[in-house]
Structure 1
Amino acid sequence: MEDEKQDLMRTIQIKFPRLSKGQKLIAEYILKHYDKAAFMTAAKLGTSVGVSESTVVRFANELGFSGYPKLQKALQELIKNKLTTVQRIELSNDFISQESALKSVLKSDMENIRATLEKINQKTFNDVVNSIFSAKRIYIVGLRSSTAIAEFLGFYLNLILDNATVIGYGVSDIFEQMLNVSEEDLVIGIGFPRYAGRTIEALDYAKSRGANVIAITDSLLSPLAARADHTLIAQSNMASFVDSLVAPLSVVNALIIAVGLREKETISSTFSRLEKIWEDYEVYSYKEKRVD
């Protein structure tokens, strides 16, 4: 990652003498503020340095990118694993106002789902579903903000297959919870920038035990993907202090449904019994209660 940063910055420095006056202003801004530039549109970056949007586009072309979005993506890849929460708050203040928060976030989440649909590999998805069915036990590791996704996946897999364990922080360390993992088991690791170190260590342990490892993460360059036999990509870009989990949750939802479609009879029987339990113990509100 540091080498990639140096390569991009070095390219800008090498090209600098041949750049136009306006392009030099852009280059200087990026060299000093690449963390902010990564989340600026071409128009916003142009306004910040006092040049036109077309000058920004030509600058990206001069660096060898097919367009500004490619340059922007390269900058985002450099910084997304490094930004502290405080830095992310500062960025969101720059680009998302309180008045525009609703539309900005919804549009960003829509883009994440669209990008995920383009990137995700159907064969890999099918292989993951097959791995779920062939596993003796399924261990799901998703820590920090990924805990919600891990719990969601574990809840439904247990209803369908009854062999999933969600690994999390508690009385026992995560390695104690995974003590008996073996080559017959499947370990699903879920993680997005900034990646939880303990999740990576858990996948290392799973690999050392010969387990099949699945990663649900944002990129094939992710440290989770480097340890996985199969990787499902879900885009989670968000210029904010809150991680965008919409696309990852959608991928997990698709996994649950794909598993469920193979176990229609089991699901029908399970939910028939659950409905009886829910009604007997008033788990849900089935009717209006009279208030005298």
Structure 2
Amino acid sequence: MPKPPLLQRLAQLDDMTPSEKKLAALFRREYPQLAFDNLTDIGAKAGVGKATVTRFVQRLGYLNFYEFSKTLRNEVAHHMDLPVRRLTQMNEEERAAAPDTIFSHTIDSAIANLQRTKETLSSENFNKAVDLLGDTSRPLFLMGAVSAEGLMSYFYILLSYFRENVVLLNGNASILGHRIARIAPESVLFAFSYDRYPKITGTTMRVFREAGCETVLITERRSSPLLQHTTVPIFVEAEGPGMFKSRCAGIATLEALLAALTPKFSGAVARRLESMTKLFTEFDVYFH
């Protein structure tokens, strides 16, 4: 018989002490990010001792904190939508569909993702992201790993037409330390990540937050473990008919950010374009 999930265990608990009530409130508020916190982190966030945390998880039915953490991580991972799981869940009709039918379904899904993102996007967070990314007094770092690396590279190239003082980061851990050493607290990190949420992106975001920096994140889940290191989240829809999630709403959001940023740099655009055009000619980049 499967063991009940954490939130169900909490719902069944009564007669809690004041310290246990603090922990229960924290667990509900921080779930599922809670799965990635250690014993010290949880105690500090709730304002209780480590021994109190251990007793509380035992009261919830876990043998010890190690079992609690391991079980919770497995529970959270179970809900993450992995490509191989999406593939195995495809029915025979989906597998046998004609290519033009798949094309039609993919476009319909993309349109639905764009519409839902438009309807649910936080205007406040989008506007704040534009202000942070457009503030030239703040060094700007862009972070994307695995599939997000190409998307942030695309954003970086277009942003470079008018925004200076931008550093593009990626999943190369051997180089990352050189690029983010001695981060200034006024710096801004802009990250893009869908599940499975690369750990290197999470670690980078944590380093920036610990330095006092603002962090902007585009992601598709409100249960992303990266949200614990995020000050400005932007959520996009990502459903798709195939084994991979759709990035179309994420790309559209990147392009919307570029469009919103452009007027802030109207004077700089002409100067940078002139300089870049000369370099393109010097390096013989384009056919015309």
Q: What TM-score comes out, normalization by structure 2 length?
A: 0.67
- Could you say which residue in structure 2 is the equivalent of 1:223? 225
CA shift, 1:195, in A, is: 1.4
- Are 2:275 and 1:277 aligned? no
Q: How many Å apart are 1:92 and its aligned residue?
A: 4.3
Of the three residues 147, 156, 160, the one matched with 2:162 is: 160
Q: How does 1:95-110 map to 2 (within 5 A)?
A: 95=94, 97-99=97-99, 100-110=101-111
1:42-101, CA deviations, whole angstroms, 9 ceiling, x for partnerless residues? xxxxxxxxxxxxxxxxxxxxxxxxxxxxxxxxxxxx888534432222234643524322
Bigger mean CA offset, 155-164 vs 274-283: 274-283
Q: Moved runs in structure 1, 4+ residues, more than 4 A?
A: 4-7, 78-81
Secondary structure, counterpart of 1:166 in structure 2: strand
Inter-partner Cα distance in structure 1 for 2:202 and 2:214? 15
What do the CA deviations read for 1:74-133 (whole angstroms, capped 9, x no partner)?
Answer: xxxx88853443222223464352432211111111111111101111221111111123
Amino acid at match of 1:91: Q
Q: Which digits, 9 at most, give the CA deviation of each residue in 1:199-230, with x for residues without a partner?
A: 11111111111111111111333222232111
Partner of 2:211: 209
**Which residue is 1:240 aligned to?**
242
Gaps spanning 5+ residues in structure 1: where? 8-77, 287-292
Indicate the structure whose relative CO is greater, using CA pairs within 8 Å and at least 6 residues apart: 2
Q: RMSD in angstroms over aligned alpha carbons?
A: 2.6
**Could you tell me the percent identity over the aligned residues?**
16
Kindly report which structure 2 residues correspond to 1:1-292, keeping only aligned pairs within 5 A, or say none.
Answer: 3=5, 81-92=79-90, 94=92, 95=94, 97-99=97-99, 100-134=101-135, 135-170=137-172, 172-286=174-288
User: Partners of 2:78 and 2:159 in 1: how far apart?
Assistant: 31
What is the DSSP-based 3-state SS (H/G/I as helix, E as strand, rest coil) of the residue aligned with 2:218? Answer: strand
121-130 or 92-101: bigger deviation: 92-101
Q: Would the alpha carbon gap of residues 88 and 259 (structure 1) be closer, same or farther in structure 2, given more than 3 Å must change?
A: same
Deviations 1:153-201 (A, max 9, x none): 2222233121111111337343442222221100112111221121111
DSSP 3-state at the match of 2:89:
helix
**C-alpha distance in 1 between matches for 2:124 and 2:142:** 21
Match of 2:28 in 1: none
| 8 Å CA contact retained: 1:120, 1:233 | yes
